[in-house]
Structure 1
Amino acid sequence: MPAKALDFFLPNELNATLPPEKRGLRRDHVRMMVLNRCTGEVNHDRFFHLSHYLQPGDLIILNNSRTIPALLRGKWKRDWNELSQDVEVRLAKRRNEDTWDAFIMANPIKVGDKLLFSDELISTVIAEKENSPLKTIQFNKRGTDLYNIIYSIGEPIRYEYIEKPWGLDDYQTVFASHPGSVEMPSAGRAFSWELLFKLKQKNIGLDFIQLHTGLSYFDEHWELKPEENEEEYQLSAVTMEKIVRTKTDGGRVIAVGTTVVRALETAARTGNLSGFTNLYINEETPLKVVDGILTGFHEPKASHLDMLTAFIPEQHLLHAYHQAIDKGYLWHEFGDMNLIL
């Protein structure tokens, strides 16, 4: 099913260009727009008041994947002849211990070409993907050795609305523990340890799944269709038992981010607690597990907006987004938050 194009005008000044901490805010003091799923009623608040909108017995599910520095810079060689002094490579998805799909900012790059990132790290283009901007590259290192070098020479992926580089720590949630995401699972960024403790004190449950986010954007010539966005997920049997118990007892399951929604709804549909998901969710998708979502603000025509219409009617969503624009909410990974419940 093709993605719809929910469109609106987003002024450039509403792109969050730097982390909240660099704007003089604690990470949990960003703004939060709260939407009522049934009525479309809109409330405006701050994220550290999240517990005011939840009830004892509710369960929050977060993604504990940790962002890696997935932008590598190197030299491009063919038959060991240098073709470029500076090539940018964005890792997109890990295939195995030494192999990744990657977006290589060089054209026309071919199978057999070499990418030299440092004296220690070299990769070879081993495959092209049909109707895709991605190439498959194999490194000369694997496992922990590969990750150690990537961490020493890589940078976080950033897009044009981020005006200057920020450190890798700025692209992490406080609870991130499993390296693998090439883009930050940003819906969880606003949580602080103090807020998590406050939620636990109110008897609001917390648990984690793992989904390593892939590369979501290439350039203006390539658009990733939702069904092509295949990502690996994993959740434990204990987590699923908590979810079932929460719903049986009348509590609500709140997913932090679209990644968590995809993982939980895929597990509910397939019965598989781990695997790959390319689940596309829209207004016609009956949600089997998730009762609410906590997410950032999504740009015009993004497929994530289609997922939000599974929670709230399109007209309510667009009305609320226009309010958010009028009130100056900030977009993207360093921006403000939206709770739909």
Structure 2
Amino acid sequence: MKTDLFNYDLPPELIAQHPPERRELARMMVLHRDSGLIEHKTISDIIDYLYAPDVLVLNNTKVIPARVFGHKSASGGKVELLLLEEVTEPEGCSHELLEKSASLSQSALSSRSTHHTQTWKVLMKTSRRPKVGDELTLCSGKAKATMLYDGEQGEAVLKIDSDRPLMEILDEEGVPPLPPYISRKEQTAEQIDEDKKRYQTVYASEPGAAAAPTAGLHFTSGIFQTLENQGVSKAELTLHVGLGTFRPVSAEIITDHKMHYERYAVSEEAAKTISNAKQAGGRVVAVGSTSVRTLESLPSIEKDEGSTNIFIYPPYEFQNVDAILTNFHLPKSTLLMMMSAFAGRELMLKAYKTAVQEKYRFFSYGDCMLIL
């Protein structure tokens, strides 16, 4: 199947650059798969479409301020990083380099009262690529990094050393990892603080994501309370959003696209809540593509954790998901392919054409679609 089959025309002005004034003001298209009916609502109207014993499945991953800046220690050349994932066994790194890096860390210990070391997979943007073994200075000098491995398409693995926990430094120096289609010409402190609040779900609790599970951005505690009063249960799982979700498809044939692994965890409590709802005849309503990926990666609905690189595209028979709340996705993306597998490619492209005509706001800070 060709990637171009999932293309559509999108006027640039429909790409949302900022979130709505309030989360509950987001528009919501309702797409009925059985009839093809399309309705135009707001996210607050979701209470009219869910009822007991349905279960809402949420991804509680928390976005970290993963975009950091620095320079090459030797030349002073600028470096921009997107921290993707902390790793314990860096793939592709030589034994000698790991030993050297460990030695550097030990020498740092002698001059520091406390010391913190982590190894991270990153995306790196710089005018001239540093070599393996080169050192970087990050976060206004609050952290140092050693290049352990240089991968493809901007990927790299760095060993990062600091006097304080890295997450503390990121809270001070890091910037929300907004996608490139959101332009921030002036990164004022006020704008950064606003993005830190709004590029995060109200229920985020597990730090580790390099991008937000954006379908969840629209929910408020008030909407959750109303749904609970109606007997709709809620289950939280975790999938830390990384390259597997937002890496664009460059292959002409979709099966040639390589999905990256992303870590997930499903607790015993969440599995029990989902199983109980299914046994009672309720629908499993996945909030966002990451919840879908996790649910469809489970061999059975029970406690589980691991990594998934599942790639869902037509035709695909869904095992655990009955309805999806999702944002509007990029043309030719794996996310649009997933939704096309759920609703049918022709119906999905029709819905997107309607969304353009009705001037819905697209992508991360945009509006959403409830697929029933």
TM-score, normalization by structure 2: 0.83
Task: Tell me if 1:121 matches 2:143.
Answer: yes
Partner of residue 212, structure 2: 184
C-alpha deviations, 1:130-161, integer Å up to 9, x for none? x442000011149x811111211110122343
Asked if structure 2 preserves the Cα contact closer than 8 Å seen for 1:256 and 1:295, the reply is yes
Task: Tell me if 1:156 matches 2:176.
Answer: yes
Letter in 2 for 1:92: L
Letter in 2 for 1:176: A
Between the aligned partners of 1:200 and 1:237, the Cα distance in structure 2 is 20
Matches within 5 A, 1:50-69: 50-69=46-65
1:88 to 63, 70, 80: 80
Partner of residue 294, structure 1: 325
SS at match of 1:310: helix
Partner of residue 252, structure 1: 283
SS at match of 1:268: coil
Question: Residue 128 of structure 1: CA displacement?
Answer: 2.2
Partner of residue 14, structure 2: 14
Question: Residue 220 of structure 1: CA displacement?
Answer: 11
Between the aligned partners of 1:9 and 1:239, the Cα distance in structure 2 is 39
Between the aligned partners of 2:42 and 2:86, the Cα distance in structure 1 is 36
Question: Residue 217 of structure 1: CA displacement?
Answer: 5.3
2:121 to 101, 116, 122: 101
Asked if structure 2 preserves the Cα contact closer than 8 Å seen for 1:133 and 1:222, the reply is no
Between the aligned partners of 2:226 and 2:257, the Cα distance in structure 1 is 36
Matches within 5 A, 1:1-341: 5-21=5-21, 26-77=22-73, 81-84=74-77, 86-96=78-88, 98-106=118-126, 107-117=128-138, 118-129=140-151, 131-141=152-162, 145-164=165-184, 165=187, 166=191, 167=193, 168-215=196-243, 227-268=258-299, 273-341=304-372
C-alpha deviations, 1:151-205, integer Å up to 9, x for none? 1111012234323243311211111111111111111000001001011011011
Between the aligned partners of 1:92 and 1:46, the Cα distance in structure 2 is 33
Letter in 1 for 2:34: C
C-alpha deviations, 1:270-289, integer Å up to 9, x for none? 97710000001122221111
The alignment covers a number of residue pairs equal to 331
Between the aligned partners of 2:347 and 2:249, the Cα distance in structure 1 is 29
SS at match of 1:196: helix
Q: What's the Cα RMSD here?
A: 2.4
Asked if structure 2 preserves the Cα contact closer than 8 Å seen for 1:40 and 1:312, the reply is no
SS at match of 1:274: strand
Contiguous gaps of at least 5 residues in structure 2? 89-116
Letter in 1 for 2:265: Q
Contiguous gaps of at least 5 residues in structure 1? none
> Does 258-267 or 88-97 show the bigger shift?
88-97
Question: Residue 3 of structure 1: CA displacement?
Answer: 5.7
Between the aligned partners of 1:222 and 1:36, the Cα distance in structure 2 is 31
The change in CA–CA distance for 1:222 and 1:75 in structure 2 (over 3 A counts) is farther
Between the aligned partners of 2:364 and 2:165, the Cα distance in structure 1 is 29
More helix by share: 2
Asked if structure 2 preserves the Cα contact closer than 8 Å seen for 1:3 and 1:303, the reply is no
The change in CA–CA distance for 1:70 and 1:270 in structure 2 (over 3 A counts) is same
Between the aligned partners of 2:149 and 2:219, the Cα distance in structure 1 is 40
Higher radius of gyration, 1 or 2: 2
Asked if structure 1 preserves the Cα contact closer than 8 Å seen for 2:267 and 2:303, the reply is no
Question: Residue 263 of structure 1: CA displacement?
Answer: 0.7
Asked if structure 1 preserves the Cα contact closer than 8 Å seen for 2:275 and 2:301, the reply is no
Question: Residue 239 of structure 1: CA displacement?
Answer: 1.3
Asked if structure 1 preserves the Cα contact closer than 8 Å seen for 2:268 and 2:303, the reply is no
C-alpha deviations, 1:99-138, integer Å up to 9, x for none? 1111111232221111101333011110123x44200001
The change in CA–CA distance for 1:195 and 1:217 in structure 2 (over 3 A counts) is closer
C-alpha deviations, 1:240-273, integer Å up to 9, x for none? 1222221121110000011001111111369771
Question: Residue 5 of structure 1: CA displacement?
Answer: 4.4
The change in CA–CA distance for 1:256 and 1:226 in structure 2 (over 3 A counts) is farther
Asked if structure 2 preserves the Cα contact closer than 8 Å seen for 1:247 and 1:253, the reply is yes
Asked if structure 2 preserves the Cα contact closer than 8 Å seen for 1:211 and 1:259, the reply is yes
Asked if structure 2 preserves the Cα contact closer than 8 Å seen for 1:246 and 1:252, the reply is yes
> Does 150-159 or 47-56 show the bigger shift?
150-159
Question: Residue 222 of structure 1: CA displacement?
Answer: 10
C-alpha deviations, 1:38-80, integer Å up to 9, x for none? 2221111011010101121100000111111111100113xxx
Letter in 2 for 1:12: P
Between the aligned partners of 1:195 and 1:270, the Cα distance in structure 2 is 26
Asked if structure 1 preserves the Cα contact closer than 8 Å seen for 2:271 and 2:303, the reply is no
Partner of residue 100, structure 2: none
